[in-house]
Amino acid sequence: MGILQQLRLYPGRLPDLYIMFECGDVPVIKKENYTGNEANAPPWFHYYKAGFTLDIISPDWSFWGWPEINIKAWEASKDDLREGNKKVHWMDRLLYAFWKGNLYTSDRMRLLDCNSTEHWGVGGACDTGLGCGNLTWVQDFKFSRSVLPQFCEFFTRSLQPIKHYWPINPNDLCRSIKFAVDLGNKHTERVKTHKIGRAGNNFVQQELMMNYVYDYIFHLLNEYGKLLRYKPTIPEGAVEVCSGTLACQMEGLDRKFKMDTTVKGPSLTNPCSMPPPQDPQMVKDFLVKQEKIRKKVDKWVAQGNVGQGPPNE
């Protein structure tokens, strides 16, 4: 749906393409299968990637709504988040939160071991200010504040631990979450955790706007098209699909969300200019810095001293 909408926003701007897209939850192109020969890995698009995969990241479907669990399209969800944040001042909020999701997939069953009502007393599993991440679907960051580092989306590397979110160690899950809960619930630290929550919220509102999502798709497909060594042709028996015919086949929320997110017409402005590739050493330094911060938090959790406040970035 996103690619179809992008074609309506910038009509005639992309070359003919042939792409392969994996729609499952887990990236499929593993680096270990192409060690020393990564150039021969198939160009496979997916919603996420990890340090051990070579999948090409494309924005996931939830930006255009997730009817199965009644999550609106991203622009509408952002508006709800912004208005919801205005209702109760941070310091006046109750120390409860919940995580919405299906536990019975992948590693999420491990979250049951961290059930706060059984082990931690009355408090919720995550403080309102810190959010509660899950183990596999990174797109849930858009509806929570804590991200586990295994998988990333196209925007994830712009997020900085301690600045935009509180990192949770999947290898020390319950203790790591409980420490974050205790930190957020400690009254003297709530101003500091408020700063993290505010930075995460500002990122969501200012850096994850839909026009940026569409521009990312445009540059991704445009640069990919430049690498093709053949001219794509329409396969025999192929069926043409456009956003209108796709929406007309749907019913209920499926149809409503697709109609609500239909691009009305071509953009009056050009896509944003793509900056030059970053220096590899700069990228490496950035990732090393993030890993150091995570290790610092792990050490802090191991010490168990909530009173010393969040470490510096």
Torsion of CA 60, 63, 68, 71, to 10 degrees: 140
Q: With 90 as the cut, is the pLDDT of residue 214 above it? A: yes
How much of the chain, in percent, has pLDDT values that exceed 70? 80
Q: With 50 as the cut, is the pLDDT of residue 47 above it? A: yes
Greater pLDDT, 150 or 249:
249
Distances (CA, A) of 151 to 62, 105, 130: 16, 16, 19
Q: How many CB atoms lie within 10 A of CB 88?
A: 11
Pairing of strands 151-152, 49-50: antiparallel
Q: Which three-class secondary structure state does DSSP give residue 139? A: helix
* Gap between the Cα atoms of 144 and 128, Å rounded: 10
Maximum distance among all Cα pairs of the chain, rounded to whole angstroms: 67
Q: With 80 as the cut, is the pLDDT of residue 282 above it? A: yes
Instruction: Check: CB of residue 217 under 8 Å from CB of residue 3.
Output: yes
- Tens of pLDDT, residues 158-187: 888 888 888 888 888 888 888 887 887 775
What pTM, to 2 d.p., does this model score? Answer: 0.82
pLDDT level of residue 140 (50, 70, 90 thresholds): very low
| pLDDT of 217 | 95
- Tens of pLDDT, residues 49-78: 888 899 999 998 889 988 888 888 999 988
Average pLDDT, stretch 100-106?
65
Average pLDDT, stretch 89-99?
70
Average pLDDT, stretch 67-95?
84
